[in-house]
Each structure stands twice: as structure tokens, then as C-alpha cells.
Structure 1
Amino acid sequence: MTATRIGLAGYGSGGRIFHAPLLAAAADVEFTGVVTRSPERRAELAKGYPDVPAYDSIADLAAAGAEAVVISTPAATHTDLAREAIGLGLAVVVDKPFALDAEAAREVVTLAEEAGVPLTVYQNRRFDSDFLTVRRLMDEGALGEVRRFESRFERWDPDRRPKAAGGGTLLDFGAHLVDQAHVLFGPVSRVYAELRTDDGELDSDVFVALHHDSGVESHLWGSIRQAAPGPRFRVSGTTGTYIVDGLDGQEAMLKAGRSPAALGERWGVEPEHAWGRLYRGKTGAPVRSERGRWDSFHPAFAAAVRGEGPLPVDPWDSVRAMDVLDAARMSATTGETVDLGQRPQGVSTTR
């Protein structure tokens, strides 16, 4: 089988830590180059991947034979670079947040469809150990009928300043939080949100409440100013509640310089002390965590580029999530619940 030639645009923390090791380890993928003009980043690339060349532009990457590109640059540049890549005929992965608003996201997805170019969004948190465990418990009926979904990305990072280029915590963490809620419980009809800013900055602390058409209520928190983070998930059903603390360990693995290439089948395996618990009243029992599978995203994308499987994430899912995030910002501004009503969320106009 011929490997899919995939390049990377951007070699900051996102590209260097969250994509390069996974691309280098991915089956049936040739990590074909990195677009960066920074001398510092080029030196880091040469040290970490001496056989992977650097390029000045996505056009140069395409001219060198790349079939696809992963865009891992500041969020404000995502849509412009995606349009450029689509124009060059490159299949595209866009890091989250896909765009700064739903209108821009919808425009890029439509452009890709019209050009016949595969486009997906790096919603890697769909492949978290804890999230996959929630899906398994729901499939098994272990929780009964889920009534409330509580999900948190909360960190204590008081020196961090949300950057305008990233859209603030609502987009940074909310892109994952809303996507996961959508995957589990479907479309949203009502949105209420509260955002906190510090010293005139972008939002650093957010709360979003979603009412799903399925009847489930999702309560989502995102913060970089939370000194005592709450449970990662609390999923409450009619026959049981699942609670898990802490973040999936794949991020820590990558930051520590570990990769699927070195760990093999041990990649993404959570230690028993990090497992969640299933409660029925006062009784709680540990639940084996599913193996985290961030390492499955790029091979699935590569297969889709070759026409051998579906995209790992339908880009219209991310447009739908952006509709909800836009509504959340409106709600936080007005103090009122936003009714999405029967308005289609992230529906292709060309299908």
C-alpha cells in the first residue's frame, strides 16, 4: 500500500507536541514536511525529525508532493489557510477551534465540498479514554436513560492569558466540550452561557448549559482559573452515575516526549488508579477505562484521502458546534437563553 503523504502547517506547541509525533507514528502515512518560517522552529524540527524537511508555504509543501496538510496554527488563521490548501487540491485537517464563528466554518466546508477535497477537523477528544468509556457504558445500558451530562476542562493556570488569535476559553475548550455533547446526545435547541473575563481579556472562565432535542441537559465548564478542578465527567442516568476525575493521559504522554511509536499497545492505556467509578446511591465500583486512541485519527484520515474509509470527523459536526458556540457568546452578552429552534445546525446546502 502506498502511504498517504501528509504535511503539517505550524510547528508551535500544537504542531510540535500534538501532531508531529502522531503523524510520524501513523501507519500508512508519510510525514512529508512542515511549513514554518521560524528559524527556532526549524531547528527544533531538524532535531526531532531530521528527515522531515521544512517549507516556507503550503504551496511549497504541495509542490513537493504532499497530498494533504494538517493545519495547526493560531485559530484566527485556520480558515484562510484551509481555503489556500483547498485551492491547491490538498486534503485538509484543521485543528480546533475550526473557525472563529459558524459563518466562516460553514463557508470553508461548502468550499471543500464544491472542490471535492476531503476536509476534517481535529476533534481528538472524541478519542479520549474517558469519553470512549462513557460511550461504552451508554451502549451497555449501564446508566439507564441519561438525564444530565456534566463535562469539564478546568485547569489552574493563572499566568496564562487567553489570546485573541485563539478566540478565548469558550472556543479553545468549548470546541471540545460542545463536540462531545453533540456526539453523545445530538442537536441542541436552547443555549445559556456565562463568561468571565479578567482585566479586559478574552474569556478565561465559561459555563454553558445546553438543552438537547433528545431531552438531555448538558452542563459544560471550561476554565484556566480554577484552582480546584471538578470531575472531568459526571454522567447521570436513571439507573447509575459515572464519575471520573482528571484528564485523559494522552496529552501528558505527548508532553513528556512519549509517542505511539515507542509505546505500541501501551499507548493510551489508563492506570487503574485513574479509572472512573459507577455509582448507584452510596455504592461505587471502579470501571475499566477504554484505551485512548488519538493515534487512530491520522491513519483514518489517510485512509479517507485514499478513498478507503470515512473521514474521522464529519466537518459539518464542527459547523454545528460553532452554531452552538456562537449562541453561547450571544447568551453571555444578553443574559438570556438563546433558542436555536428548528434552525438547521451545520447542514450542508449542497447535499
Structure 2
Amino acid sequence: MSETASVKFALVGYGSGGRIFHAPLLSSAEGVEFAGVVTTSPERRATLPDGLKAYDSLAQVAEDGVRAVSISTPVATHADLAKEAISLGLAVVVDKPFALDAGSAREVVAAAEEAGVPLTVYQNRRWDSDFRTVQRLVGDGTLGETRRFESRFERWEPAREIGASGGGTLRDFGSHLVDQALVLNGPATRVYADVRSASEHDLDDDFFVVINHASGVESLLWGTWRQGAPGPRFRVTGTTGTYVVDGVEGMDGQEAALKAGRTPASLGDRWGVEPEHAWGRLYRGRAGAPVRSERGRWDQFYPLFAAAVRGEGPLPVDPNDAVRALEVLDAARISAATGTAVEL
């Protein structure tokens, strides 16, 4: 792709999220020129790879001819930074959670629409290998009519501190789990949640959410950092079969690859390909047969957004989808506080 066709990007924030999850994908993305990082931390500036600029502000980014930014900062800063970027005419990717609540998210979407600026949300888990496989099996009728969708992000890291800046586990893990449930099963009509806290900040640490969908499907979602025996990553039950993905062996491998320093550029066509032992199994009774996993494609997100910025395709994620997911998460917090289900 020619240089004139590439979209000049900057990354806002260079903590673990920006450094591990965004920078390698920006560097590897076709149609993207990764120019630099907005960070005022001397320590983080010192870790920037050669060739990346360090910017002091979004205004400096805009002055340098950057066309798009990816915001990977604490969630409480997302909405204000996104609105500032929009006011400068910059196309914006906002990491999840999009905002602290649905109302704040709506304000950002309205600002982007008024300014005519592309805005999307980094819901990379839509491109997980296991979720893409679930979509295939549901879409081709292998499971029959879906009755129940069970989905878990359960991990065993009991020493992990749930920081106030991250908004808690419900916003963090829940942003992924709810987004996937809505993408697969359609709009929510009713939400019930149980949320527990083990944090000095009184933030949710362990949650269980039930979503009733207009389609008739029931989604059961779990999230915690303190589960010693993680349940299935997915168990999707239909009228003719059930698909199960193990909660440890079956976890999509793209996160682990990035943490190990591997990238789409270094792995090429091997990126996102799951080994056979990680494949889910299709059950019709007691016997289960392995199902080849779809390839994980986190590497597609930034090329898709760059194409949208150039006016060559749709946004990879409609920001209104993230608003609807936050409406569910807002309802979950109300339900947990009152002990009653919330109608949407």
C-alpha cells in the first residue's frame, strides 16, 4: 500500500494496555503509519522503540499531521480525551470500557456525529478465535436454535489489585462479555446481576450477570480474577447441540502471544491460529467431537479502521454498540444494588 494511502496514527497512553495490546498491532497494521505516543511520563518515554515520537498533547499530535488516535488510558479519562480529540478533527479509537457509563458514552458519540469524525471502540474480543467459531456454528445452524449462551472470563490471580482507575471488573471483563452477548444474541430486554467486592476501593471484583434477549436467548456471564477453578470459556446450548470451550486450554491465544512479544508481523499467517488441543468440542449427548477453531483476527481491527478513516469501508465497531453494552452494565449495577431485575 502506498504511503499516501496510509493513515498516520498516534497512541494516547503507554501503560500496559497501550504498550502490550495496541502498539504492536498498530506497528503491524497494513494502511497504518504509527507515528508516536502521547505520554508525559519520562519513564515511559524512555521505553519507546526507535522511530516513535513522544508527544506532549493531543494538540501537538494534530499539529504533526496525525489523522487518528487510539486512546488507551484509565477509563475515567476516556470520554474527555475522546471529545478533545474529536474537537481537533482526529479520528478516534477508544479502548474499552468506552466510558464510565452510558450517558458519558452517548455524549462522545454525539460529538463525533456532529463533527463528522470517525469514532469506534476497541472491542477486539469480537475477533477472538473461539467467539468467531461460536458465530460460525450459530450462523450455520449446527447448534439448532440457540437457547442459552454461557460465557466466562474467570482467572486465578488472587493477588491482583483492582484499581479505581480501571473501573472495576464488571466494566473491564463485562465490556467484552456483554458486547459478545449482544453481537451474537441481539438486544437485551432484562438484566439481573450479582456483584461482589474484595477491593479497598469497594469496586466489583466478582460478578454474575443474566441477560434476557428479545430473541429469546438467555445469556449467563461470569467475570472474576479470583476463581481457582475456571469454568468453560463458552458453553452455547441449542436445540440440536452444545458447543463447549475449555476455560483454560481453550482461551484465545492472541493475548498470550502479545505478552510474549509476538506480533502479527512476526508470526504472519500463523497469527491467531489455535492448536488442536485448544479447540472447542461439539456435543450431542455424552460424546463430544473437536471443532476446528476459526483463526483469531485482532490484526484486522486497525486496518479496518484505517480504511474507514479513508472513506473506504464501515467502522469495525459501531460506537452505538458500546453505548448499548454500557446500558446493560449500568442496569447490572442497579440490579446488584437493589437485588431486582432491571427491564430495558
Q: TM-score, normalised on structure 2?
A: 0.97
Match of 1:335 among 322, 336, 339: 339
Residue aligned with 2:147, SS? strand
Larger deviation, residues 75-84 vs 196-205: 196-205
Residue aligned with 2:184, SS? helix
2:24 matches 1:21 = yes
2:59 matches 1:59 = yes
1:269 partner letter: V
In 1, Cα distance between equivalents of 2:78 and 2:47 = 23
Q: Tell me by how many angstroms 1:40 deviates.
A: 1.2
In 2, Cα distance between equivalents of 1:28 and 1:102 = 32
2:228 matches 1:227 = yes
In 1, Cα distance between equivalents of 2:131 and 2:343 = 27
In 1, Cα distance between equivalents of 2:63 and 2:162 = 36
2:304 paired residue number: 300
1:237 partner letter: G
In 2, Cα distance between equivalents of 1:282 and 1:212 = 28
1:344 paired residue number: none
Which 4+ runs in 1 deviate beyond 6 A? none
2:82 partner letter: A
2:74 matches 1:74 = yes
Contact 2:157–2:225 (Cα < 8 Å) also in 1: yes
Give ranges in structure 1 of 5+ residues lacking alignment: 341-351
Q: Tell me by how many angstroms 1:199 deviates.
A: 5.0
**Residues 52-75 of structure 1, C-alpha deviation per residue, up to 9 Å, x if partnerless?**
111111111111110000000000
Match of 1:11 among 9, 14, 26: 14
**Residues 52-103 of structure 1, C-alpha deviation per residue, up to 9 Å, x if partnerless?**
1111111111111100000000001000100100000000000000000000
Match of 1:290 among 294, 298, 319: 294
2:152 partner letter: R
1:148 paired residue number: 148
2:10 partner letter: G
Larger deviation, residues 56-65 vs 330-339: 56-65
2:173 paired residue number: 173
Q: Tell me by how many angstroms 1:165 deviates.
A: 1.4
1:114 paired residue number: 114
2:95 matches 1:95 = yes
In 2, Cα distance between equivalents of 1:102 and 1:163 = 21
Q: Tell me by how many angstroms 1:159 deviates.
A: 1.1
1:347 paired residue number: none
Q: Tell me by how many angstroms 1:14 deviates.
A: 0.5
Q: Tell me by how many angstroms 1:326 deviates.
A: 0.2
Between the aligned residues of both structures, percent identity stands at 72
1:266 paired residue number: 270
Instruction: Evaluate the alpha carbon distance shift between residue 133 and residue 199 of structure 1 in structure 2; reply closer, same or farther with a 3 A threshold.
Output: closer
Instruction: Evaluate the alpha carbon distance shift between residue 199 and residue 100 of structure 1 in structure 2; reply closer, same or farther with a 3 A threshold.
Output: closer
1:159 paired residue number: 159
2:259 matches 1:255 = yes
1:120 partner letter: T
In 2, Cα distance between equivalents of 1:229 and 1:81 = 36
How many residue pairs are counted as aligned between the two chains?
A: 337
In 2, Cα distance between equivalents of 1:129 and 1:111 = 34
Give ranges in structure 2 of 5+ residues lacking alignment: none
Contact 2:199–2:205 (Cα < 8 Å) also in 1: no
1:309 paired residue number: 313
Q: TM-score, normalised on structure 1?
A: 0.95
1:211 partner letter: N
Q: Tell me by how many angstroms 1:27 deviates.
A: 0.4
Instruction: Evaluate the alpha carbon distance shift between residue 199 and residue 87 of structure 1 in structure 2; reply closer, same or farther with a 3 A threshold.
Output: closer
Instruction: Evaluate the alpha carbon distance shift between residue 336 and residue 42 of structure 1 in structure 2; reply closer, same or farther with a 3 A threshold.
Output: same
Residue aligned with 2:108, SS? helix
Q: Tell me by how many angstroms 1:321 deviates.
A: 0.4
1:41 paired residue number: 44
In 1, Cα distance between equivalents of 2:72 and 2:199 = 28
2:133 matches 1:133 = yes
Q: Tell me by how many angstroms 1:194 deviates.
A: 0.4
1:194 partner letter: D
Instruction: Evaluate the alpha carbon distance shift between residue 316 and residue 289 of structure 1 in structure 2; reply closer, same or farther with a 3 A threshold.
Output: same
In 2, Cα distance between equivalents of 1:23 and 1:4 = 11
In 2, Cα distance between equivalents of 1:5 and 1:271 = 35
2:322 matches 1:321 = no
Instruction: Evaluate the alpha carbon distance shift between residue 199 and residue 183 of structure 1 in structure 2; reply closer, same or farther with a 3 A threshold.
Output: closer
